[in-house]
Structure 1
Amino acid sequence: MFHLYLTLAYTIPNIYVFFRINHLFIGKGYKLWYTLIYILLAAVYPLNRYLPDNDMNLEMQILDTVSGYFLPFYLYLFLSVLVYDLFLLLNLLLNVVSAKTRKLFLYRFYSLSALIFLSVAVVIGGVINLNTIRVSKYHVILPKKNSNIENLRVAFVSDIHIEQNLNLGFLEQFVQKVNALQPDILLYGGDIVEGDNEHETSEAMESVLKQVQTKYGTFGVVGNHEFYGGQEQGIFFSRAQITLLNDTIINIDNAFYLAGRYDQHFRNRKSIGEILQYSSAELPIILMDHRPTQLQEVSQTAVNAQFSGHTHNGQLSG
């Protein structure tokens, strides 16, 4: 269902882009070829989403990987064309570029090339950013209470959006970085798995994630994308030896409490009060909630620290 909505969100802007490029830049002698090529390329992503996931050969794997870049490319092409249209509206007042100039072949060629180049450049930059794992370090002071530890090193990761075409080397690099930090515990903040079915992940991916080494273990919560893809039951997490905390709280070796909430997508999730009723005030309480919302409510409870994702580095600066 998630990919159905995504396909609709992909198709509607594409219709706009198709007609605007056709009107603004394509000469009469090239319109048929333009139409055929555009439809062929634009159809790659939605068609690939509905192909069977099992037993893909090399060619299908390449197609699956390439199609994953079509979605952001057409998104930024849509935005680029939209900005160009805004420029044309402004040009009606300022007359920076005359109507005669806009009809010239070279002007149309270079303008269209610039829009395509800009979209490709942004996607390439996004791919580089995606595959560059950065570690941000924070020092947080919590009340010790009756905890039997003096310090706690927490590794937290969120919004990986693992798909079938994810490079296994990325996960291997991730595990190496986590292990190099020597964390006491690893927390997953949700949106770890993408996709409409369990075939979006593989045994190899699960095997890599099981190589994480911590003192207290690996825990996580589900995000909205796990619900979109039907992964909220936690099959992948169980196989990867990640303990899901779904509206529950546990005592970690009499050192602290760790609580986890269902994502807000789950309408029947418990209130923070219902979850905390199984804890005491004798130990620090750490909470995981995929979305950084209801912070005012949480701040009025015994929770000492909350870990959230969802905003892709939007809730904290630096």
Structure 2
Amino acid sequence: MQNKVTRRSFIKRALGSFLTVAGIGAGGYFYAHDIEPKLLDVTRHEIKNRRLPAGFDGLRIVQFSDTHIGFHYNLDTFEKLMDEINSLAPDIILFTGDLMDNPNEFNEHERIVQTLKRLEAEFGKYAIYGNHDHGGYGSDIYKKIMEEAGFTLLMNESDSVTLLDGSSIYIAGIDDAMLGRPNLEAAIRGIPKDSYTILLAHEPDHMADLAAKNNIHLQLSGHSHGGQIQLPFYGPLVTPPLAEVYTEGFYQVGDGEGMPLYVNRGLGTTRLPFRFLSWPELSVFTLKSEQ
């Protein structure tokens, strides 16, 4: 027998449904605003390449990116991040841009310097510009911070990492693609043709296809934040310009075996202080020689 729905019971059911949806919405807001942005996903990867000299087998690289200090990412959290990075015992540390959200509006520059100085890596600390590092007349501020903190800031240039046996790998970095003047040709000039080379490029889409054709063996990027907000079975709702093709994780770019490209989801947030299904990330890469 069909149940009769009275006006009162209909209103109760409707109100119950509304409160359920509202509760889910409030819970989702709390999680995306207050919980997930404070989580940390340490992802670990092996990178194999026959061009890697045998002496570099087992070399550990830690990449961090997009902290956006000053926009819902404070220096207390940043200091804890340094402890986490050091606990991973990196041989090389790479920062792929966007240190502060608005460099000219954030005043605790010296505290950032002292915090970054705590990072330890036997073979060096390297950084590149992101769009926020240039934004708001921040270019010189960022340069001063990173250099005083002991980072080698690569702007369309490269540096070699050389072992006692004379073998080397190269780390190249290009300027930001949105507010800078990236020049891959200048960045890799002088690198021997068959040398294992890692490229740091803040925006993944801009340079990946060209890098794959120019003796780059691994590209590391950030900028995308993994979209910050993702939906199950759909992925990121919105990704920023120049991170719309390559949004997070590994890709093989180019013909044949392709060039590995890794897009780090970053640590902070920008524009909207939310993360959903896009945890803040530290990336750890262990290089493996196939010789």
TM-score range, shorter chain: 0.5 to 0.7
Q: Is the 8 A contact 1:163 1:201 kept in 2?
A: no
Question: Aligned residue for 1:258?
Answer: 171
Question: Aligned residue for 1:59?
Answer: none
Could you tell me the percent identity over the aligned residues? Answer: 22
Bigger shift: residues 190-199 or 177-186: 190-199
Q: State the number of aligned residues.
A: 215
Question: Which residues of structure 1 form unaligned runs of 5+?
Answer: 1-99
Q: Is the 8 A contact 1:146 1:282 kept in 2?
A: no
Deviation at 1:111, TM superposition (A): 5.9
Task: Find 1:240's aligned residue among 132, 139, 149.
Answer: 149
Query: Distance in 2 between the 1:117 and 1:230 partners?
Result: 42
The 5 A counterparts of 1:62-73 are none
Give the RMSD, CA atoms, in angstroms: 3.1
Deviation at 1:282, TM superposition (A): 4.4
Say whether 1:316 aligns with 2:249: yes
The 5 A counterparts of 1:1-318 are 118=25, 121-144=28-51, 146=53, 148-163=55-70, 166-197=73-104, 199-233=106-140, 234-253=143-162, 254-266=167-179, 268-270=181-183, 272-293=184-205, 294-313=207-226, 314-316=247-249
Query: Could you say which structure has the higher strand fraction?
Result: 2
* Aligned-partner residue type, residue 248 of structure 2: Q
For the pair shown, which has the larger CA radius of gyration, 1 or 2?
A: 1
Query: Distance in 1 between the 2:196 and 2:129 partners?
Result: 23
Query: Distance in 2 between the 1:211 and 1:299 partners?
Result: 34
Bigger shift: residues 114-123 or 255-264: 114-123
Query: Could you say which structure has the higher helix fraction?
Result: 1
Q: 1:134 to 1:145 in 2, by over 3 A?
A: closer
Q: State the TM-score, normalizing by the size of structure 1.
A: 0.59
Deviation at 1:311, TM superposition (A): 1.1
Query: Distance in 1 between the 2:52 and 2:87 partners?
Result: 29
Deviation at 1:224, TM superposition (A): 1.1
Give SS of 2:219's match: strand
Query: Distance in 2 between the 1:232 and 1:114 partners?
Result: 46
Deviation at 1:225, TM superposition (A): 1.3
Q: Deviations over 1:50-98 (max 9, x none)?
A: xxxxxxxxxxxxxxxxxxxxxxxxxxxxxxxxxxxxxxxxxxxxxxxxx
* Aligned-partner residue type, residue 274 of structure 1: A
Greater relative CO, 1 or 2 (CA 8 Å, sep 6+): 2
Q: State the TM-score, normalizing by the size of structure 2.
A: 0.64
Question: Aligned residue for 1:36?
Answer: none
